[in-house]
């Protein structure tokens, strides 16, 4: 089969790889019909290169049609249509029973001190072959695979794999009070969807970004916007206070993470680490502070005293400096983590199954491309060119 593979930093290629087969009785194999390109994939593209190996199949936002079913997957049959969460979780361990599926103890990667395995996401998270491919083996499908209706287009349900539960959890963790103001930093896929969810819940929603097309998208759905092109972190926070009676936002979602704009020195460190031999780069990434923290420090500054910062953007450094005095003095609550996808799928499906496309998911993707176009799509998405907010591959 054809699959999108990592071959080196900024070197994505479509290769022929062996077809997947059932390996465990809880597996299924699906024919992939759609698979998203995620902002987190950009971390593999460059920053997390030390944890990748040439030939790794990438992608963690797939859906498709069941082609083969393991003996211990009673709820699925060949021909069913399913969405696959990016978490690989068992559903019955101590963590899963407490709706912390991203910490699943069955698939945890204790060697690296990380949580549950993820589809297509490096040695740090299990090196499980990903879903930007024609076919996919789905481990623990007896719990993870989500059966969906065959009556609507793929894009109605595809984003259950990652974008929707990640944005949903970000808003849940933000804990915006009734009548409160939510600030979303970043209008990429997660920030855009978080803003839609916030507005759906009736929150005043402000979105900050520097890409005109992205600001226009969220503005078109009713969000207030701040163009941060010529603003530093302090100026962004001041602008937010101007819009909120001098207090700041009740809650802030950092939907950017280590891909933040700014800090050319830290960007140079990212590139340098990516060029080092893996034996040197891996411990450096795990123990050093190597992130661009512009978005996070802006969130801490822009949130009101006693407010909440919800972090959905991914950070990679283990020793990044944080303004702890400011955080303590402002009595800020901080919540973060990989989305616990299966925790939220029931709530989200109730919206998606409605006749009305409440969150605009069917028009959410900006690009639908073939697998063969993946190398160019990664480069375009990283550079924020061609209006690329959400890319979906159609194998």
* pLDDT value at residue 211: 93
Residue 364: which CATH number?
3.90.180.10
| 203 and 60 within one domain | no
| 10 and 145 within one domain | yes
| 115 and 71 within one domain | yes
* pLDDT value at residue 184: 98
| 177 and 63 within one domain | no
Mean pLDDT, consecutive 10-residue stretches, the chain (395 aa), reads 95 97 98 95 81 95 98 97 98 98 97 94 94 98 97 97 98 97 97 98 97 96 96 94 98 85 48 53 53 88 98 79 93 96 97 96 97 96 91 97
| 373 and 295 within one domain | no
| 318 and 272 within one domain | yes
* pLDDT value at residue 266: 46
- Residue 110 has which token pair? 């204790």
* pLDDT value at residue 259: 59
Which residues, other chains included, contact 245 with Cβ-Cβ below 8 Å and sequence gap of 6+? none
Residue 259: which CATH number?
3.40.50.720
* pLDDT value at residue 281: 53
- Contact between 181 and 249 (Cβ < 8 Å): yes
Full domain range(s) for residue 376: 2-162+340-393
Number of domains within the chain: 2
4, 18, 146 from 66: Cα distances, Å: 20, 18, 11
| 170 and 158 within one domain | no
Q: What does the alpha-carbon distance between residue 110 and residue 95 come to, in Å, rounded to a whole number?
A: 15
pTM of the model: 0.92
* pLDDT value at residue 341: 98
| 225 and 294 within one domain | yes
Q: What does the alpha-carbon distance between residue 258 and residue 40 come to, in Å, rounded to a whole number?
A: 10
| 77 and 60 within one domain | yes
Sign of the CA dihedral with 376 first, then 263, 228, and 220 last: positive
| 226 and 306 within one domain | yes
Domain boundary residue, one of 305, 320, 336: 336
| 222 and 208 within one domain | yes
| 124 and 106 within one domain | yes
* pLDDT value at residue 268: 47
Which residues, other chains included, contact 342 with Cβ-Cβ below 8 Å and sequence gap of 6+? 85, 87, 89, 91, 96, 99, 101, 143, 144, 146
Domain boundary residue, one of 310, 336, 362: 336
24, 71, 85, 243, 286 from 141: Cα distances, Å: 10, 11, 10, 47, 30
């Amino acid at each position: 089969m054809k699959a999108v593979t990592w071959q080196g930093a900024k070197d994505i290629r479509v290769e022929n790889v062996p077809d997947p087969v059932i390996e465990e009785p809880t597996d299924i194999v699906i024919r992939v019909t759609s698979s998203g390109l995620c902002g987190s994939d950009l971390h593999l593209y460059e920053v997390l290169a030390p944890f990748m190996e040439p030939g790794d199949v990438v992608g963690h936002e797939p859906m498709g049609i069941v082609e083969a079913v393991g003996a211990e997957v009673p709820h699925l049959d060949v021909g069913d249509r399913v969405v696959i969460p990016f978490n690989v979780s068992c559903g019955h361990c101590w963590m899963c029973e407490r709706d912390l599926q991203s910490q699943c103890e069955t698939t945890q990667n204790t060697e690296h001190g990380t949580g549950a395995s993820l589809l297509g996401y490096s040695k740090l998270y299990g090196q499980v072959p990903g879903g930007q491919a024609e076919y996919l083996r789905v481990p623990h499908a007896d719990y993870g695979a989500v059966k969906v209706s065959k009556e609507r287009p793929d894009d109605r349900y595809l984003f259950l794999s990652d974008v929707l539960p990640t944005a949903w959890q970000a808003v849940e963790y933000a804990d915006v009070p009734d009548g409160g103001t939510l600030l979303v930093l970043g209008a990429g896929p997660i920030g855009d969807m978080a803003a839609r969810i916030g507005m759906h819940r009736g929150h005043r929603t402000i979105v900050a970004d520097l890409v005109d097309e992205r600001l226009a998208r969220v503005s078109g759905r009713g969000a207030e916007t701040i163009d941060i092109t010529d603003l530093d972190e302090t100026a962004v926070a001041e602008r937010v206070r101007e819009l909120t009676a001098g207090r700041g936002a009740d809650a802030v979602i950092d939907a950017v993470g280590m891909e933040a704009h700014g800090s050319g020195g830290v960007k140079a460190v990212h590139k340098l680490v990516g060029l080092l031999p893996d034996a040197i780069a891996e411990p450096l990434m795990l123990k050093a502070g190597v992130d661009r923290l512009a978005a996070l420090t802006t969130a801490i500054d822009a949130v009101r005293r006693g407010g909440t910062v919800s972090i959905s953007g991914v950070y990679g450094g283990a020793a990044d400096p944080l303004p702890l005095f400011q955080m303590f003095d402002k009595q800020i609550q901080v919540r973060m983590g990989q989305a616990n996808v299966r925790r939220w799928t029931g709530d989200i499906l109730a919206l998606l199954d409605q006749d009305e496309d409440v969150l605009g998911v069917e028009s959410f993707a900006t690009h639908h491309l073939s697998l063969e176009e993946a190398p160019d799509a990664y480069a375009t998405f990283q550079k924020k060119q061609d209006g690329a907010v959400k890319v979906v591959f159609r194998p």
